[in-house]
């Protein structure tokens, strides 16, 4: 196989409920060293997008569970993910395209499409996304690589649960601002929040990993509002 980008393989999440289209995309792109994950409904796709470092997302507009526009809006407004999105749809009016871009899509491809064009657009989005996005988050001596999801503090690697990783990434992206509890709860559970204070339990585990082994505290509670991450109690 030849990697058309001459770089590390591009990891793509394909969100499409038509299995035949998925098979065609897989057969073509895997020949060019793309790494593909598939989701056949919007809810499963959101879970994958929040827990894996994708380079590009190929997103069908009409999906069961959560449509493509809602998925894209949540990805941008609630999860604050900047992963480039290529929207697939049979709708070809200007109004449809404008709705897609307003929701947060980066590009638009009309069905039926040529696989060569899909690959060319993915390549362009990958290069554009890597050129504009910050891949390394840093707060004091704490770093997170958004591509590999590796976390280090003072040179020591820190292993986190998927929930802890998502919470830490949001806190670091917003640092030193306060992130409201409601925003963090939506990040973990969307609209199905559990009973009790499950967020506090996750934050306790995160603190145990990030702060306890070290001499200074980075994660701070803002009483009745939320949490923030910063050097010292600024």
| The model's pTM | 0.59
Q: Would you say residue 170 has pLDDT above 80?
A: yes
Residue 73 buriedness (CB in 10 A; 0-12 / 13-18 / 19+): middle
Which domains does the chain carry? 11-132 (3.40.50.2300), 136-229 (1.10.10.10)
Span 53-103, pLDDT tens digits:
788 999 999 999 999 999 999 888 877 788 899 999 887 788 888 888 999
CA distance 232 to 94: 50
The helix (H) or strand (E) run that includes residue 202 is: helix 198-210
Q: Would you say residue 135 has pLDDT above 70?
A: no
Distance of CA 106 to the CA centre of its chain: 14
Q: Which of 191, 184, 182 is nearest to 219 (CA)?
A: 184
């Amino acid at each position: 196989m030849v990697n058309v980008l001459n770089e590390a393989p591009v990891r793509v999440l394909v969100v499409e409920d038509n299995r035949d289209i998925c098979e065609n995309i897989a057969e073509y792109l895997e020949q060019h060293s793309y790494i593909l994950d598939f989701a056949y409904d919007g809810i499963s796709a959101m879970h994958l997008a929040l827990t894996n470092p994708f380079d590009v997302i190929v997103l069908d507009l009409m999906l069961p569970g959560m449509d493509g526009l809602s998925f894209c809006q949540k990805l941008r407004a609630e999860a604050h993910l900047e992963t480039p999105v290529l929207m697939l749809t049979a709708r070809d009016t200007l109004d449809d395209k404008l709705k897609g871009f307003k929701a947060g899509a980066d590009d638009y491809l009309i069905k039926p499409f040529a696989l060569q064009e899909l690959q060319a657009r993915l390549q362009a989005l990958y290069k554009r996304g890597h050129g504009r996005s910050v891949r390394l988050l840093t707060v004091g001596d704490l770093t997170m690589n958004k591509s590999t999801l590796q976390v280090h503090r003072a040179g020591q690697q820190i292993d986190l649960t998927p929930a802890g990783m998502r919470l830490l990434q949001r806190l670091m992206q917003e640092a030193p601002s306060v992130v409201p509890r409601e925003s963090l709860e939506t990040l973990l559970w969307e609209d199905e929040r559990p009973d009790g204070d499950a967020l506090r339990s996750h934050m306790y585990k995160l603190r145990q990993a990030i702060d306890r082994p070290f001499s200074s505290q980075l994660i701070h509670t803002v009483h009745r509002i939320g949490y923030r991450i910063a050097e010292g109690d600024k």
